A and B are shown apart, each in its own frame.
Chain A
Amino acid sequence: GQNIDQPTEMTATEGAIVQINCTYQTSGFNGLFWYQQHAGEAPTFLSYNVLDGLEEKGRFSSFLSRSKGYSYLLLKELQMKDSASYLCAPMDSNYQLIWGAGTKLIIKP
């Protein structure tokens, strides 16, 4: 079967760094997406990794290891507005995104 494993909830402090881990199992693999979803809103695209390694985009970076079925999203210089759910979504052999429940990140002052 296909599944995604992310922590349900994490808490971090404003200004700090947090790493959200994701392990996945899919039927085939065509890359992995990270989305941010604020409560009551639709997801917004953060990053896409298809090759192994680290992709940096401002305060956010995403890492992928295909052999380990593992990815992480690194958020630096946390701001209160970063409080949201972060969705790890690998794409399977049919180019279909597989969705888990995501990680709810709580930022405290």
Chain B
Amino acid sequence: GAVVSQHPSWVICKSGTSVKIECRSLDFQATTMFWYRQFPKQSLMLMATSNEGSKATYEQGVEKDKFLINHASLTLSTLTVTSAHPEDSSFYICSAKGGRDTDTQYFGPGTRLTVL
């Protein structure tokens, strides 16, 4: 139980384009989903927290107009990186909680984004 999927697992795009990443909880309803970014050899950085049906709460320094988050259902959240630039290249990981262990965050496998 508590499986989270993420799609795509990797993506390469040109500078200026937008990229959408999907995060799904497969066997539980996620009351809350989280989006993280991780640069090589650095700690996880929380970007935003989203609850189903409401606007995401962004961490300080994260541009909400650049990183659009939609949490349309209890099993799906999407992160859209708009007008991507090379500095947005990173490992993006979602997590979800709301299963039987209500406080435990279960992570998706991550999406490696490379912006050329």
Count residues of B near A (Cβ-Cβ below 8 Å).
Answer: 20
Q: Which secondary structure characterizes the binding site on chain B? A: loop
* Residue pair A41, B103 in contact (C-beta under 8 Å): no
Inter-chain CB contacts under 8 Å: number: 43
Alpha-carbon gap, A99 to B47, bound state (A): 12
14 additional A-B residue pairs with CB within 8 Å, beyond A41-B110, A91-B103: A33-B104, A33-B105, A41-B109, A42-B93, A42-B107, A42-B109, A42-B110, A45-B105, A95-B103, A96-B49, A99-B45, A99-B46, A100-B43, A101-B41
- Supply 22 A–B pairs (Cβ within 8 Å), ascending by A: A30-B103, A33-B104, A33-B105, A35-B107, A40-B91, A41-B110, A42-B6, A43-B44, A43-B107, A44-B107, A45-B2, A45-B106, A48-B101, A48-B103, A87-B43, A95-B103, A96-B49, A99-B45, A100-B43, A101-B42, A101-B43, A102-B43
